[in-house]
Structures are given as structure tokens and as C-alpha cells.
A and B are shown apart, each in its own frame.
Chain A
Amino acid sequence: MTQLNTYRGGPNERGHFGIYGGRFVAETLMPLILDVEKAYAAAKDDPEFIKDFRYHMTYYVGRPSALYYAKRLSEELGGAKIYFKREELNHTGAHKINNCIGQILLARRMGKTRIIAETGAGQHGVATATVCALFNLPCTIYMGEVDIERQKPNVFRMRLLGAEVKPVTSGSRTLKDAMNEALRDWVSNVSDTYYLIGTAAGPHPYPMMVRDFQAIIGEETRAQMLEAEGRLPDSLVACIGGGSNAIGLFYPFLDEPSVALIGVEAAGLGLETATKHAASMAGGAPGVLHGNRTYLLQDADGQILEGHSISAGLDYPGVGPEHAWLHDLGRVRYESATDDEALDAFKLCARTEGILPALEPSHALAYIIRAAGALPKDHLMVLGLSGRGDKDIFTVADALGTRI
């Protein structure tokens, strides 16, 4: 592992995390991205902006989210003491809302009057539609046709909230194509539109900005664990789609060498299948897509491959650039879990804790199920429980061969 004085120093002023990150966008968008960067730099140090963000976190999102000791699960696994950081209790049911509040406040400061976003599982789409309703801004959500089919409840929710959901029929009709389509919309509507990216990826400053808004997860976890146990946790485990909930949980701990950080990618039908997984670090290579350099699932010719995962929120063929950097540095360990392991974790969590986790964090839980038993009883382990599983019950029923 490469030793740095600080792992919290990224990105540099050009948006680079080591060789990753950057601003790989068409010239039409470049001035807009520079505007977002400038506006965010001013906002993040403005006490008014911070106050507004905190206000909405407390009274609208319902923060802080609980840090809950999962006693029965811990006993069942017979090792580490497992805590859940319960982002699934947030308004709209996932961590995505933290970022959406931050960005919508920024968009308003910038005088933007129209919001666009991409969504995979629909959680980010729902969170975006929610804040757009709250602030009375029109919003268009791009969603792949395939995902619309798998996440019907969220599509209906977005429409109830007043959003226009535009089905994306190009390419593989999933999250990466939704992001392409959102970028095409932005290129065509530069003057009034703000692109509210849903994960810690995309061109600079998005990976940094989304991380900063999500870092509230780790900041609370730190304080809550100190209060509960009088010390820092020993390990943190979170699932990796684009990587926003994971970087939000990890970031405040990056410079705590005693805290092990584990990101869990989606191994789909297995890493050995080459194209039936979504583990871009375990099975991909560095490349450039959607404005940043990062690990990507791609073929030898640099064509992007479609990821596969049972969870629509993880089957993105890339990952945020800060994770790519932390991976190469060795500061965060990246593991993976298959569809089947995630399903088993989903069922176990429901049965032992009375909580239906989303399929995304079920992957992180699957890693914990593999690892916890071998750890001592005083090992404090935190699961980033990024979202609730209500949206996934149709998918789970399908996978279990049950009709509902």
C-alpha cells in the first residue's frame, strides 16, 4: 500500500485523483462545468449555504440517521459486533437524498430553472423528483427502458412527484445510457438547466461535490460510534455502484489507519463470467467515460460493456474516480458479492433484524456474512445500509420464483 500523509487530499485543482478523474467533456459543456465548480467553491464555504443544507438535513431528510446495533444478526454470524448506519430511514428511503438536497440548493444559487438527472434503480430519480417538488422546479429524469421495467414502483413515484420520466432506448437501455442521454440533454439546454448527477462520478467537480454532501454519513457515524462504544469502529463496509454512499461513509475515516475500509462491488452471476457482473475494479481497466477517467468494464477495443447485477443501482460499468484512486493506493479494499449472495443477505437481514435492505447494500451485507464470523467479538463493524428494499420486492419475488 502506498503511504500518503493524507488520503483526504483529492482531487487537485484540475479535478484529478492521481491519474483518475478530470474533465473529459465536450467543449459545449466545459463552460457549464467550470460554472458549477466556481459556484460550488463559493457555496461550500458560505455559512448561509451550510446552514440551509443542515436545516434540510435535519427537518426534511430526518437526520441524523440512526447507528443501530444489529444484535441478532451479530449473534447469528457469531463474530464481529455489527452496526447498521441506517440511511434507509432517510426521507425517500436511501442516502441519495443527501446529495440531492446539496445540489438543488446549489442549482438555485446558480439561478437554474430546470433540473435533469439520470437514474438506475430509481432511488436517485425519486430523490431528485422529491427535491424538485420541494423547490418547485421542473425536472426530467432519464431512465433506461430496462430499468423502468425492473423498478416500476419508483417510476410511478417519480411521476406522482411531478417529474417527467423519459425512457432511454439507446445503447443497452440502462444507467450508462441514461447518463449519456442526460448529457445530451444538457448540451442542448445549456442556459437554464442544471444536471444533478446521482453518484460520485462524472466530470470534476461532481465526484468531489457529491462526496462532500454524502460525507455527512461518515461524520455522523464517527460521532455516534464514539458515543456508543467510546472508540472508532474497526471496519466500515459499503456497496459500490458509482460509489457515493461508500465514499460518504469512508471519507471522514480515510486518515484513520486503524479503520479498515471495504467497498463491495456487484459480482452478478460471478466475476468469471466476464460480462455478467458489474465489478469495474475487479474486472475492468482504466478508461475514460462520462467525463472522468476511472475503472471501466470494457473490451480490448475500448468499447464499454454492459454491467449486470440483480440490483439496478449497481450495474453501472464504471466507478467514481476517487475509489479508483483509493483502490490503486490500497487504502480501501474492494471485494465483491454475487446476485445469489446478495439475495441470501437480503433474506437473512429481513429474518433476523426485521429490516428489508435494498439489494444494493445487501451486497455489502453479503461480504459481512462471509467475513464477520472469523472476527473477534469486540471488532466493531459498520454496514452502510444505504437504502430500503421495498423497491426491490418484485425483483426478489422473481428471483425466488414467487408471484406477488
Chain B
Amino acid sequence: MSTEGRIPRRFAALKAEGRAALVTFLTAGDPDAATSLALLRGLPAAGADLIEIGMPFTDPMADGPAIQAASLRALAAGMSLAGTLELVRGFRAGDDATPVILMGYYNPIYRYGVARFLTDAKAAGVDGLIVVDLPPEEDEELCLPALAAGISFIRLATPTTDDARLPAVLRHTSGFVYYVSITGITGTGAASDQAISEAVTRLRRHTDLPVAVGFGITSPERAAAVAKVADAAVVGSAIVSRLAKGLNAEGKATAGLIEDVHHFVRALAAGVRGARG
């Protein structure tokens, strides 16, 4: 495995430590740009090993209510794809080591212009992309150009991705593989420990890349259970829901919001770090 780039370096370091990674998700600009930047800046200290940042979109087809609402809050507060890249630059000013992965849907990137987006994303310090509505069948759109630009393209594998299809899904995947542990949208349901363990074993038969598992991880205990068997545990909706609890009736951030989200991330990190102890 190559150790060039922040994602491989981070996974190599964690492997040496003998533990899994905690990957946290927040939507860019939720609930506003300034709060969002403060939230992101505090994540590494709270124990996030990799950071996923959602690019807000009006029609997030694979997301459940929590992340849909986050997207709409961010858009209402004026967030855009250019604004998302600006946030990444802001984060990078204080942290050059934590991998940053942008996650979202293709249309805003297509509209921005793929070549221009990749140049700007690379310059901002983006390490990887997860674009939900770009399966391997559409690799020429963004996956191959991203790889050529030195940005990882992280593919989702799901319970419906059978052994016959897995090689096609893994072919141009880089950085890590993201296993979606349920057939469903974000924030709705959870897979059993046994199902997750079997899936990770199946993926490892097909790839040497680190395997991250997400969807349905809502607590430090669930994060710990996943961290026992996978290389990373991804937590999204639960963090976004925690953020939403800190909003007032107008959807504005209240005083304790940032600290409360970081507090929750610290608990998740403790779960992940203690998992194999």
C-alpha cells in the first residue's frame, strides 16, 4: 500500500498503533459557515482521525431526514460548493495532517466544472471524494479525472454489491473502501455485528485497502463494535443530529453547540480507541 498522501499515511499510522480510525461527518455550512469552521477545526483534537464534509445539495437522494435537514440548513445559510472549498482551506490553515474527504452528489460538481473543481479542491487540501450517484458505470465523469489529479475516489460498497460486482466497484477505488452496512438511507437502521464482520471479511478477500464501515453507527458502543472488526468507523447522522439539538427555534446555533458536538465526538473516539484493548 502506498503511503503517499494524507489518507494512506493516516491509515498506516493507525495500523502501527493497532487501532481503527474514527471518521466523522458534518455538512459544510451547517448551521452557518462560521460555526461550521469552528466545528471542523475542533474535530481532530476531539479524536476524529479522518473528516468527511458533506457538500450540501437540494436533493440528497441517499440521505435520511437528519442529513437532508442539515443540507437545507446549510443552503439556507448561503453555503455553496465554492463556500465548501473555502471551509476546507480554512481548516487546512490549522491542520495539514488530517485527511479531508468531500461527500455528496454529482450535480453541483458537474455545474462547477469537473476540471476546475479538481484543481480548486486539490489546492484547498481535499484528499478524497465520495460521490453517491457516480457508480463505476460512470467512471469517466469524475472518478478517473480525480485519480489523475491526485485525489482519491472512495467508492461505496453495499450489501447489494455481490462478489461478481465487487471487483468492478473496487477497480478504481483508492484511499479506502466505504462499506454501507445496510440497504437503506443514512440515519435509518443498523446492521448486526455478525453481518458487519462477515461483510468486512468478504471485502478483505477482494482488496488490501482499508475498509471503513458506516450507516447506523449512533453511539460510542456501536462505534467500538465496528472498530473491532473494520479499519474505520464512520459516524454521520448521529453527529448531525447532535448538532441539530443545539439549534434554537430559528435554526441558529446556541452557545453550547460546538462544545457539545465535540464532546460527543470525544466519546465516539474513546469507544473506537478502546475497542481492541
Contact = CB atoms under 8 A, between A and B. Distances in A.
A177 B138 CA distance: 24
A176 B59 contact: yes
A400 interface: no
Interface stretch (A107-115, A133-141, A288-296, A386-394): A288-296
Given A31-B165, A287-B107, A302-B110, A183 B184 contact: no
A220 B110 CA distance: 40
B81 interface: yes
B59 A24 contact: no
Contacts of A301: 80-82, 108, 111-112
Given A24-B135, A287-B111, 5 more contacts: A30-B160, A176-B59, A184-B64, A287-B110, A288-B110
A180 interface: yes
Interface in A21-51: 22-32
Given A27-B180, A298-B107, A184 B61 contact: yes
Contacts of A302: 57, 81, 107-112
27 contacts: A22-B137, A23-B137, A23-B138, A24-B106, A25-B133, A26-B62, A26-B132, A27-B156, A27-B161, A27-B169, A28-B158, A29-B160, A30-B135, A30-B165, A31-B162, A171-B59, A171-B68, A171-B72, A176-B59, A183-B61, A184-B62, A188-B189, A288-B105, A288-B106, A301-B80, A302-B57, A303-B58
Contact of A30 (B107, B137, B189): B137
Contact of B185 (A24, A30, A187, A289): A187
Contacts of A289: 59, 107
Nearest to B80: A301
Nearest to A304: B58
Interface string B99-116: 000000111111110000
Interface in A278-310: 285-291, 293, 296, 298, 300-304
Contacts of B105: 288
Interface residues of B, number: 44
5 shortest interchain CB distances as A-B pairs: A302-B111, A302-B108, A188-B184, A301-B80, A28-B158
Interface string B243-265: 00000000000000000000000
A170 interface: yes
A374 interface: no
Contacts of B169: 27
Interface of B: 57-62, 64-65, 68, 72, 75, 80-82, 105-112, 132-135, 137-138, 155-162, 165, 169, 180, 183-185, 188-189
A32 B160 contact: yes
B58 A171 contact: yes
Task: Give the dominant DSSP class at B's interface.
Answer: loop
A248 B159 CA distance: 37
Interface residues of A, number: 38
Given A27-B169, A288-B107, A187 B184 contact: yes
A7 to B, nearest CB: 24
A188 B185 contact: yes
Contacts of A350: none
Contacts of B155: 27
B188 A188 contact: yes
Contacts of B162: 31
Contact of B183 (A28, A176, A296): A28
Contact of B160 (A31, A180, A304): A31
B58 to A, nearest CB: 5
Contacts of B109: 302
B165 to A, nearest CB: 6
B258 to A, nearest CB: 26
A301 B108 CA distance: 6
